[in-house]
Amino acid sequence: MRCAVLGDPIAHSLSPVLHRAGYVAVGLDWSYDAVQVRSGDLAGFVDGLGGPEGGWRGLSVTAPLKREALARADVVSARAELVGSANTLLLTGQQVHADNTDLPGAVAAVRERYDGTIRHATILGGGATAAATGLAMVDLGASTVLVAVRRPERAREAAERIAAHPSGPRVDVVGLDDASDDTDAIVSTIPVSAQTERLAAACAGVPLMFDVVYDPWPTPLSAVGSVVVSGLDLLVHQAALQFTAFTGLAAPLAEMRAAGEAALRERVS
């Protein structure tokens, strides 16, 4: 069977490394590739694969295609509907099933490293990943969420998605300069280029810093926070959930993580 990760750009993705390592660990003779698919082209690409009859089983989806993936699906999971985007497409027969493993992957990544209470959370950025990780913070106990962005009008959908969580959290949108360590957890979904010295100083001292970036690493924001959760932590846990969805087998988490860590070390050597 064939699987792949789709996005634009995509050459940097570690997903092939993780999934291939998983296949080797469980003895599956499957393939997993990185395929560049531009914005607006996802539906046509998926329709051309032929599903399982064409040898295709699953697709991981990254920026800028996560909302397109949701729109293409025939069946949508409750959490993908809640997030408003999909990072996982499962091809079964004539149907395409959409899911979002970023949300539960973020929960698992945090709980692997941090057992503290999260009542107040701050999300830096306002895109699809901000919505997923913001909802994850609410799953972890946050009753108030602050979405901090450079252009508040662009965070409206993410804020509305987080506020739609069944627990009914309070969600406010502010400028990025208003972010501070006066919170239980900060999740950064912004690129390294936006992680200024001023922002890092404002966030210093936060109990939990969760930076979804994994390359380059470390980042300016990874230097602050009593406990740090990395983008690789998130990538591994969401990929493990995808692996199980695609194969029906328990994911070999340790082997997948080790492969990702080795690949990142090789990139900086």
Q: Which domains does the chain have, with CATH numbers?
A: 2-100+233-268 (3.40.50.10860), 115-229 (3.40.50.720)
* Strand duo 95-99 + 88-92: pairing: antiparallel
CA–CA distance, 231 with 224 (Å, rounded to integer)? 15
**Which one from 57, 66, 120, 257 is the annotated catalytic residue?**
66
The neighbour count for residue 11, using CB atoms within 10 Å, is 8
SS3 content of the chain, % helix, strand, coil (to 5): 45, 20, 35
What are the helix and strand counts (H, E) for the chain?
A: 10, 12
Average pLDDT for consecutive 10-residue bins of the chain (269 residues)?
Answer: 97 96 98 98 96 94 95 97 97 94 98 97 95 98 97 92 98 95 97 96 96 94 94 98 98 98 90
Burial 128-143 (b: 16+ CB within 10 A, else e): bbbbbbbbbbbbbbbe
Please state, in angstroms and as integers, the Cα–Cα distance from residue 140 to each residue in 109, 184, 185, 264, following that order: 11, 11, 11, 29
- Check residue 268 and give its pLDDT: 81
Answering whether pTM is above 0.75, one says: yes
Contact 256, 239 (CB under 8 A): yes
**248: region left, alpha or beta (phi > 0 left; psi from -120 to 50 alpha):** left
CB 12 within 8 A of CB 214: no
- Angle of the 253-268 helix axis to the 231-247 helix axis, nearest 10: 130
Please tell me the distance from the alpha carbon of residue 211 to that of residue 188, in angstroms, as a whole number: 5
At residue 18, what is the residue type? L
Question: What's the pLDDT at 269?
Answer: 72
66 as an active site residue: the answer is yes
pLDDT at 48: 95
Give Cα 260 to chain centroid, integer Å. 15
